[in-house]
Amino acid sequence: MPFPPGHYYADGKFVRYADLTSVSEYSSDDIDTVCGKIREKLIAGIEKRLDADAPLGFLLSGGLDSSLVCAISAKLLGKKIRTFAIG
């Protein structure tokens, strides 16, 4: 069974934390503004997690998400990063 979108896994089951089909509010911003806000939030989230006192490693899943996180991380750190892949 694939990992469902908007879920996390706990106590042996998938738990929904978000349901995109029940969004009650929509942004009236143009697409460039929305994309800029998403970019800012993504970079801020990555920056927050790069603050570590131990060596960092990144697990590549083969998808776009992990590749994007790695690319942004390498740019923010200003150096090569250590990546791993399974399979």
The domains of the chain are located at 29-85
Task: Give CA–CA dist 19/2, Å, rounded.
Answer: 17
Residue ranges for the chain with pLDDT beneath 50: none
The phi and psi torsions of 78 (rounded to 5 degrees) equal: 70, 25
> What are the distances in angstroms from CA 17 to CA 13, 22, 48, 70, 73?
13, 12, 22, 25, 26
Task: Give CA–CA dist 86/42, Å, rounded.
Answer: 25
pLDDT of residue 23: 79
